[in-house]
């Protein structure tokens, strides 16, 4: 539950059945909240978005809807742009007309990962994949079309899975592969700031009443190597399943070993959150 600072607000939660959407739904349960899953509101349908905002007149909208997964977006770029870019624009425009605040969620993948220090909000994006380009376009649309916005970039979310379409998080995937006996393939040259969905939801709830609009990085501070999680999962599973095997190497080597192309993933997306620290300190 969140503080009463948000209590007078009517909140629209879009993407309510996703991983983050569910967390926000729980957190805001006692508020005047309207949670909308994909079947209730498709953000690609501009007219439907407009009608929804005109009928509900929200004070605040939390837009967690996204088409993500690097491989899915590479395979279906039209859908990636329709949801992540055009959909975000539809929501932002409707919010502006309704006089609502938008909290929109984006990704650390807007960076190319070449930097050797943590990324901050002022670093220049350089997206590598369709997913990242479409999410960056969505960020720009929100900034352009809705004056009172929070663009929140986060990283490698983990927590209870989405309700409708099960999508594994990284930890769950490692444990499943370990249970199945592997092979677990992990890369040793990618660094992330994995983020607990509840922590992100809690910080967003604290951020909105500040009315300090802008772009924020919000992630947990630990730097995780896929290698560490893969090794721990393999070790944990070995007493139960001695067949479990794992391969760890540079992304290019792992891709070669498994006969697949190297995914367009950035190498380092470790994030620093200086703007958030200043704001909620
Ligand atoms: N998960 C991560 O590791 C991660 C990392 C960085 C940033 N983010 C960002 O954080 C946000 C939340 O991610 P998440 O992990 O909660 O994603 P998620 O579990 O996939 O949830 C996204 C939700 O959006 C819905 N959706 C898809 N297309 C839609 C549309 N056209 N209209 C309305 N709803 C639609 C999906 O419904 P269906 O499943 O029914 O299609 C799903 O319930 C996203 O903006 C994502 O880009 C996530």
Domain with 72 in it: what CATH number? 3.40.50.720
**pLDDT class for 130, splitting at 50, 70, 90?**
very high
Is residue 216 flagged as an active site residue? no
pLDDT over 90 percentage in the chain: 58
CA of 176 to the centre of ligand 1 (A): 22
pLDDT of residue 281: 65
Distance, in Å, from the CA atom of 222 to the CA atom of 270, rounded to the nearest integer, reads 9
Least confident of 56-65, 72-81, 138-147, 219-228: 219-228
Listed residue (93, 126, 131, 122) closest to 111, CA to CA: 126
Specify the pLDDT at position 114: 94
Please report which confidence band the pLDDT of residue 176 belongs to, taking 50, 70 and 90 as the band edges: confident
- 149 assigned to some structural domain: yes
Residue 153 counted as domain residue: yes
- Which one of 131, 145, 213, 216 is the catalytic residue? 131
Provide the strand spans (E) within 59-183.
60-63, 101-107, 149-154, 157-158
Of 66, 108, 160, 172, which is best to mutate to test ligand 1, by the most ligand atoms within 8 angstroms of its C-beta? 66
Task: Give the count of alpha carbons within 13 A of 245, CB side only.
Answer: 3
* pLDDT over 70, % of the chain: 85
**What are the φ and ψ backbone dihedral angles of 218, each rounded to 5 degrees?**
-130, 110
Evaluate if residue 1 carries a pLDDT over 60.
no
Secondary structure (3-state) at 137: helix
What pLDDT score was predicted for residue 243? 67
Residue predicted with more confidence, 25 or 188: 25
According to DSSP, the residues that pair with 152 across neighbouring strands are 105, 216
Strands (E), 157-209: 157-158, 184-187, 191-192, 195-196
Give backbone dihedrals phi and psi of 186, rounded to 5 degrees, phi first. -135, 155
Tell me which residue range forms the domain holding 28: 8-163+193-222+272-280
Asked whether residue 193 carries a pLDDT value surpassing 70, the answer given is yes
**Torsion sign, CA atoms 83, 88, 132, 190:** negative
* pLDDT of 178 over the 90 cut: no
What residues flank ligand 1, with Cβ below 6 Å? 15, 17-21, 38, 41-44, 64-68, 83, 87, 105, 107, 135, 154-157, 162, 164-165, 167
pLDDT at 5 over 70: no
Q: Whose CA is nearest to atom 41 of ligand 1?
A: 38
pTM of the predicted model, to two decimals?
0.91
* Ligand 1 atom closest to residue 16's alpha carbon, by position in its atom list: 43
Q: Is residue 255 part of a domain?
A: no
Kindly state whether residue 171 falls inside one of the protein's structural domains: no
The ligand 1 atom nearest the CA atom of 43: 32
58 assigned to some structural domain: yes
Among protein residues, the one whose CA lies closest to atom 39 of ligand 1: 165
- Number of domains making up the chain: 1
Answer yes or no: is 37 within a domain: yes
Place of tokens 């995914």: 263
């Amino acid at each position: 539950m969140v503080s009463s600072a948000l209590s007078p607000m009517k909140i629209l939660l879009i993407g309510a059945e996703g991983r983050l959407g569910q967390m926000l739904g729980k957190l805001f349960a006692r508020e005047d909240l309207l949670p909308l899953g994909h079947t209730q509101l498709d953000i690609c349908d501009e007219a439907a978005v407009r009608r929804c905002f005109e009928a509900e007149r929200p004070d605040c909208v939390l837009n967690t809807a996204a088409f993500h997964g690097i491989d899915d977006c590479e395979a279906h770029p039209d859908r990636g742009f329709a949801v992540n870019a055009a959909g975000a624009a539809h929501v932002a425009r409707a919010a502006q007309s309704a006089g609502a605040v938008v909290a929109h969620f984006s990704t650390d993948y807007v960076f190319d990962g070449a930097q050797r220090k943590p990324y901050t909000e002022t670093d220049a994006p350089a997206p590598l994949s369709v997913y990242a380009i479409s999410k960056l376009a969505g960020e720009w649309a929100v900034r352009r079309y809705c004056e009172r916005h929070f663009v929140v970039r986060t990283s490698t979310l983990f927590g209870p899975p989405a309700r409708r379409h099960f999508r594994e998080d990284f930890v769950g995937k490692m444990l499943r592969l370990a249970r199945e006996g592997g092979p677990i393939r992990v890369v040793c040259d990618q660094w992330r700031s994995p983020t607990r969905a509840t922590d992100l939801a809690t910080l967003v709830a604290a951020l909105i009443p500040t009315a300090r609009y802008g772009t924020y990085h919000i992630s947990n501070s630990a730097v995780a190597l896929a290698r560490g999680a893969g090794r721990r999962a393999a070790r944990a599973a070995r007493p139960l399943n001695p067949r479990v095997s794992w391969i760890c190497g540079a992304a290019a080597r792992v891709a070669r070993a498994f006969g697949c192309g190297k995914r367009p993933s950035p190498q380092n997306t470790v994030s620093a959150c200086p703007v958030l620290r200043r704001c909620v300190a």
